[in-house]
Amino acid sequence: MNGVHDMGGMHGMGPMKYDPNEPVFHEPWEGRVWGFIRGLGPWTRGRFGASRFDLERLPPDFYLGASYYERWFGMLVNRLLRGGLITPEELASGKADRTRPAPTQLPAPARPLAAPGARVDNVPVRPAFKPGQRVRARNLNPEGHTRLPRYTRGKVGTVVRNNGAFALQDTDTNGIWLGGRAQPVYTIRFTAQELWGERSSSHDCVYVDLWEDYLERV
């Protein structure tokens, strides 16, 4: 989706903020949220699609105003409510409603290839492109999750490396994985001038890892 999460190249986000003595978790609640995320896998895996997509579709003003762990917390609460694992009343009171049936774990959906994003080593794949070849990032604007950043779309780059076959991570508009064939993920080198214009340094470049479906011949 063309959301605010796809930030590469945006202006106006301000200067870098740097804390040389930053702790891993700034406040105890951040660690608790991280613990929920890591621990709730068996409960969320069979019910929900891509967690990155659920983060991306948080309301944009919330996304931009929230810290990293606030986003995860917001996303998690949304999911628990959406999946009927908790109710708004339970959330407000912090107490379980004993009249409701206990939540159950659901089996993860069967994957024809592998988990989204995972390497697929057991399927022979014939790569369409080879290192050194010039390719264009396709102008795709899916409404679901994609790993094709906006700033690369329509731009021409050079294949640097074939990283092997991976399962496509893209989802539909419900966050449900689209699946599809196992395909190479290529590292593509774009010059800064191709991406940002002739005023950029002629020495600089950006390397982006792109699935084969995101690319076309020049």
Closest distance of CB 63 from another protein, Å: 9
C-alpha pair distances (Å), 35 with each of 30, 69, 75, 180: 9, 11, 14, 32
Nearer to another protein among residue 91 and residue 218 (C-beta): 91
Only one residue has tokens 């998690």, namely 76
Taking the alpha carbons of 106, 110, 116, 119 in that order, is the dihedral positive or negative?
A: positive
Nearer to another protein among residue 172 and residue 189 (C-beta): 189
The token pair that represents 92 in the structure block = 């407000």
Closest distance of CB 134 from another protein, Å: 18
Closest distance of CB 159 from another protein, Å: 14
- The answer to whether residues 125 and 183 touch, using CB atoms and an 8 Å cutoff, is yes
Nearer to another protein among residue 96 and residue 218 (C-beta): 96
Nearer to another protein among residue 34 and residue 129 (C-beta): 34
Closest distance of CB 18 from another protein, Å: 5
Phi, psi dihedral angles at 152 (to 5 degrees): -95, -15
